[in-house]
A and B are shown apart, each in its own frame.
Chain A
Amino acid sequence: MEQGNQGIYVRRSSGLMREISGSHALAINIMGAGFFYAILNVMWGAALFPGANLAISALIGMILNLPISFLYFYFTVIMPRSGGDYIWMSRSLHPAVGFILNLGIVFSNVIIIGADVVWAFKYALGPAFYILGLITGNSVYFSVSQVFNSSIVIALTIVIWVIILGFIFTRRPKLLGRVILSLFIFALITIIIYIISNLVLANTTFINNFNKYSGMNYNNLISLGSSRGYPMVTLASATLFSTVYTFLEYEGITFSAYYGGELKNVQKSAFLSIVISTILLGVIIVAIYASTYYAFGFGFIQTIAMISQTGDPAWKLPFIPFTTVLWMFWNPVIGFIVILGFVIAMFAAMSSYLFVSTRSIFAYSFDRILPSWFAKVSKTGSPYTSSIFITILAVITGLLYIYTPAFEYLLYTADLMLIPFAVVGAIAIFFPFKKKEIFENAPDFIKKKVWKIPVLSIIGVLALGSSLFAIVSSFVPTFGGVIDPISIVYTFSIYIVGLVIYIIAHYYRKAKGLPLEYSFKEVPPL
């Protein structure tokens, strides 16, 4: 019996329901990538790539990311399944490759949970109250500021928020979509306020208040920077090098691929949430960088970024001066609104990371790599067991992040996302020829050719090039800084873990009678 008519309601048979709309997917992806990270990157990027103009760099980053976005959009339409590139790689290459590489993505998504709360508290709320204390002279604000630096407060917040998310994940996917869309709208409004304020308000108030309350002088700092040779203008080479950095700001924009099995109107939703989102995110990020340089001055940003992150005594405040925080000197009301937006964005990002991770766990279980318990679906269409598992895992990793140095060596986690991009790019090149049946059944626009070459193959070449650029750059000292072998081993050990899990699943299933590989076989028509 078929329920409903074509066009009214479509549901796939994994048990997960297609009820995530394009707008919800857009919000999940953009918050996963996170435009507010640009606020952090202004300072970090200036210290890593002195003289780099991150506005230009982010624009180049967007252009380099577009082939990957198109690649993931195409594959989401061709194979709209939970697990995204896990499904594509496991069906096109080998189940072990799909599983191991996708597990790396889950790993990188889950371990960042602790960092998001730390950043929200230590880089935004704590400093904001500290500056309020400076401005008002009220010591209560300094005490409040200390609260946000407290490990127990951070740990409790992680646990509470992750548990709330876990609860939301076990409800209808639509509920999560609505929650993240609300957070996205709030964050978007606050960043628009930030950008417009940067552009239209004269910075004399900021300079006056900064000079009055920070214990430093705006012009003196610029002079100091200039005397030390910090770049006061954009340097083309630094800008070019920094593209590897801004390139990573788009990681997350392909998230809807991982819940492709739940997207309503796949073509439209995937295009909106992956391709359009990439452009929208790019516009926002570029605007953040450009307006920040305009408001605070390029030379000032370069100088305070360097001295605040190198322990230079010339920097008097006990925190890195992210520009949301600097706004507290300028206008505490606008400052607080933007900081709230920043905090909300961090919490929304956590939601996106964990949400897509639940879908990968579900997909592994559905293919019997993990026990079937992980693929249980509630009557409301929620993969509740994988959600419970990810919730517990996120609580553990969050606490490990706060209380142990366990994740100090995970410098290359970005590569865990980039490597699947490259592999999917390589798959795309040959897909029209090797997987003819699936390709021929795809919508007409996917089958288009240019000079007899499938567009998908061309996109594959471009995406492979982009991803390899970023991967290789992360291991080149000029781009990625000093190579840390311990971090490399530590980060990529997740692949060893994945291999071990796969081998165990392989032999267990074989011993039971139905080999694991049965789940991945292609059956051509007789």
Chain B
Amino acid sequence: MKIRILFASDIHASEITFRKFLNAYRIYKADYLVYGGDLTGKAVVPIFRVENHRYKATFLNQNIEIDETNLGNLLSKIANAGYYGFVTDKSEWDNLINNPEKLQKVLIDLMVDRVQNWLNLIEEKLPEMKGKGRIFIIPGNDDTYEIDKLLNNSEFVINPDGKVVNLDGEHEMLGISNANITPWKCYRDIEEKEIEKKIDNLASKITSLNKSIFLIHVPPFNSNIDMAPKLDEHFRPEVSPMGGIVTVPVGSISVRTAIEKYQPMLGLHGHIHESRGAIKIGKTLCINPGSEYGEGILRAAIIDIKEDKVKDYVFISS
């Protein structure tokens, strides 16, 4: 039987992009909705209360001053860009800035709230999905572990991180949220050896590897879907003598080795937003749909599979 997967990744808290992702599930008549990690955003935008029920903020390099009636609109714009609007006052914010642990707690609370809201949205908009095992969401290396509890408790969503799950009785999928160590030392960055162990452990539980899917946040090393700017010690992109940005492969060597060794039918990856594409490694088709969440653009891939073959796939952008 042919099944259709809608796959996206790295939405990073962009409200509008996530809503498009859910809608795309219906529009493209997908059987399964699969998400490849990095649900949460990275920044809090303080919105300061000032006198006369007015608010001030700096967002996308613009100084904004609004009245109360426009507060919802501003919060919505901030959420659509993948940030967290935080209504505060100057003294509270100064206090948080001077107390990084407290600020981190605020950020995590906002992250958890957003993910919970999204799970509620799924319940509200896709009620028929309850208990069906059709929506798979793994976290990514940027995601705090606090969100796992929410995903694991949902009756609508399956979190396949560190597990092998069965899609339709014929196709199995393993999930890994981790990435190899990045310059930013994110929540789920781990050493290559650990990634290797995790994959080996999960792959050993799969019945038919040739019909399996590897849902691994980080793409395989040197696969063309893992090309990112080479950074200097100040995290600035290096420029070549010809003036171009130097790009280098930054994927996981362990993931590459595992794909070459186990040859699953399909590899679903994210992590490197700029490296949208698809590549064959042996018999395995590896896909990175890319991400442009900051613009509110959904980047995704629709993949039709049948038995041990990827029948067709298409990248979508909206």
Contact = CB atoms under 8 A, between A and B. Distances in A.
Interface of B: 2, 12, 15-16, 19-20, 22-24, 27-28, 38, 42, 61, 121, 125, 141-142, 179, 182, 184, 186, 224, 227-229, 231, 235-237, 240, 242-245, 247, 250, 271-277, 290-292, 294-296, 298-299, 302, 304, 311-316, 318
Contacts of A512: 311-312
Most buried by B among A377, A509, A526: A526
Contacts of B12: 2
26 contacts: A1-B179, A1-B271, A2-B12, A2-B273, A4-B231, A7-B61, A11-B229, A11-B245, A13-B291, A13-B299, A19-B244, A174-B244, A379-B227, A381-B244, A509-B312, A513-B312, A514-B304, A514-B313, A514-B314, A519-B315, A521-B27, A523-B23, A526-B19, A526-B20, A526-B23, A526-B125
Given A8-B237, A12-B292, A519-B314, 7 more contacts: A3-B229, A3-B231, A11-B245, A13-B275, A19-B243, A366-B315, A526-B23
Contacts of B242: 172, 174-175, 178
Interface string A494-526: 000000000000000100111000110111111
A19 to B, nearest CB: 6
A381 B273 contact: no
A13 B22 contact: no
Contact of B237 (A3, A13, A380, A513): A3
Interface residues of A, number: 39
A525 B236 contact: no
Interface in A1-54: 1-9, 11-15, 17, 19
Contacts of A522: 318
Interface string A369-397: 00000000101110000000000000000
B47 to A, nearest CB: 19
Contacts of A122: none
Contacts of B245: 9, 11, 17, 19
A359 interface: no
Interface of A: 1-9, 11-15, 17, 19, 172, 174-175, 178, 366, 368, 377, 379-381, 441, 509, 512-514, 518-519, 521-526
Nearest to B222: A379
B23 A525 contact: yes
A446 to B, nearest CB: 14
A518 to B, nearest CB: 5
Contacts of A178: 242-243
Given A19-B245, A512-B312, A11 B125 contact: no
Nearest to B311: A513
A376 B244 CA distance: 19
A234 to B, nearest CB: 47
B23 A13 contact: no
A3 B184 CA distance: 10
A379 B12 CA distance: 26
B182 A9 contact: no
B156 to A, nearest CB: 14
Nearest to B189: A1
A1 B313 contact: no
A382 to B, nearest CB: 10
Nearest to B24: A523
A3 B228 contact: yes
B243 A174 contact: yes
B276 A15 contact: yes
B44 to A, nearest CB: 15
A13 B316 contact: no
B221 to A, nearest CB: 13
A525 B290 contact: no
Contacts of B311: 512-513
B14 to A, nearest CB: 10
A521 B302 contact: no
B30 to A, nearest CB: 11
Given A523-B20, A524-B23, A13 B274 contact: yes
B48 to A, nearest CB: 21
B27 A1 contact: no
The CB with the most chain B CB atoms within 10 A, among A12, A172, A366, A381, is that of A12
A17 B231 contact: no
Identify the interface centre among A7, A13, A522, A524: most chain B CB within 10 Å of its CB.
Answer: A13
B275 A380 contact: no
A379 B226 CA distance: 10
**Interface hub of B19, B121, B227 (most chain A Cβ within 10 A):** B227
Given A13-B291, A172-B244, A441-B296, A1 B302 contact: no
Contacts of B231: 3-4
Contacts of B244: 17, 19, 172, 174-175, 380-381
A484 B220 CA distance: 58
Given A523-B316, A524-B20, A13 B235 contact: no
